[in-house]
Amino acid sequence: MLNESLFCSKIVKYVLLIVIMFQVIFVISAYQISFSQNSSNPLPSTIPTETIKIVDPITTQNISTGQEIKISGTSSDTNVKNCSVSVIVNNLRPYQTAVAKGSEGVSDYSQWEFALRNSYTQINEGENKITAKLSCSSASPRWYSVFINGVPNNSNVEPLSPVKSEGEQSTLSANLSTDNNINTNKDELPAAQSEEEQNLHTSDLSEIDNTDINDELPAAQSEEEQNLHTSDLSEIDNANSNDNALLVSIIPLNDPVSRGDTQSVTITVTDSTSDAVANAEIDGNLIYPGDNFEKDFNGITDSRGEFVYSWTIGENGDAGPLSVQVEVSDQVHPPALATSSFDIVDISGE
C-alpha cells in the first residue's frame, strides 16, 4: 500500500507540473500577442525629412544682368510646423528671409517668395547660383539650388518713337509741307538753260556715269562660281552664329555636403535652342578646399544631354567650397567651359 501511495503522489506532482507549464506558455503567448497589437502603430523613431524646391527661375534660364527678379518655390512646411525659408544668391551671406505665401497664413511656407533687390545683390553676367534653405525645428536643414545665366542688359537700346494719332500725323504733314514751300524760293532757282545746253549736260553726265560703272563692275561670274561663293558665305555665317554655342549647367545633388558622404553632380549640355546635345565629351576637374587637392574625371552625355558623376567626399579633408570645372566639346560645336561649386561641411563637432 505504501508503494501505491508513493506512486500516486508522484503522478499527481507530474500532472501539476504539466498544468503549471501550460499556464506559463499561455501567459507568454498572450503577452506576445498583446505586444504585437500595441506595436502596430509604433512611435516614430526617425527624424522626418523635409523638402524644399525653387520653382522660378529654373536652371539654365537667361535673365538680364542687374534685373530685379522674383524668386518663388515650394516646401514641405505647413502652418503647424515651425519652419522658415531663406535665400542666398552667389553665396553672398547672410541668408535673406523669404515671405510665406501658403494658403494657411504667414507661418505657412508651403509656398514662398523672395524679391531679389539691388540693395542686396544683383544678377551678374555669366553663371549665377541661387540657393533656398528650409530650416525646421524638427529636422535638419535642407537646401535646393538653381543655376541661371546672366545675359547683357538691352535697356540701353533707344526705344521706338510712340505711334502718333491720325490727327497728330496730319498736323505734322501739314507743317512739313509749309516748311518745304517756304524754303523753295523761286528766286533761288537757277536760270533756265537752253535745250542745247541741257542736252549737252545730260550727254556729259551719261558718259561719265557709263565710264565709272564699267570700270567698277567685276568680271561676270559663272552661275557655279556665284553659288559656291554664296555657299561659302553661308558657312561662315553659320560658324559665327551663336546658334553653335554650347550651354552647360552643373548641378550638385547636395549643397552643402558632409565629409565622408557620397556626392554627385549632374552636367547638362544643350545648344542655344535648348535642345539636348548627346555624345558630348566631358573633361572635369574637382578642386578641393584647403591644400587645393585636385581630382580629374571624364564622361560622355547621354541622349538627354546629361552626364552624372558620383564620388565620396574624403573624411579627413578640409571644410569649405569645392569647385567643379568642366570643359565640354563635340564634333559640331566649339568647346565650352563651365564652373560651379558647393560647400563641404564638418558635422563631427555638432
pLDDT tens for each residue of 111-145: 999 999 999 999 999 999 999 999 998 888 888 99
- Looking from the CA of 285 toward its CB, the CA atoms found within 13 Å total 10
Kind and range of the H or E element at 44?
Answer: none
Burial class (CB in 10 A: 0-12, 13-18, 19+), 322: buried
* Beta carbons of 336 and 281 less than 8 angstroms apart: no
Domain spanning 243-345: CATH 3.20.20.70: no
**pLDDT number for residue 84:** 94
Residue spans per domain, the chain = 52-151, 243-345
Global pTM exceeds 0.75 = no
Helix or strand (DSSP H, E) at 33: helix 2-38
Share of the chain above pLDDT 70, in %: 64
CATH 2.60.40.3670 fits 52-151, yes or no: no
Contacts of 90 (CB under 8 A, 6+ apart): 121, 124, 128, 129
For the ranges 215-219, 227-231, 318-322, the maximum mean pLDDT occurs at 318-322
Over residues 77-106, the mean pLDDT reads 92
- Backbone phi, psi, residue 91, to 5°: 60, 25
pLDDT tens, position by position, 38-54: 444 444 444 457 899 99
Predicted pLDDT at 273? 85
Coil/strand/helix, residue 48:
coil
Show Cβ contacts of residue 244 under 8 Å, excluding neighbours closer than 6 positions. 238, 271, 272, 332, 333, 334
Residue type, 154: N
Looking at the DSSP bridge assignments, the partners of residue 265 are 252, 309
Q: pLDDT for 205-221, tens place per residue? A: 444 444 443 444 344 44
64 touches 153 (CB < 8 A): yes
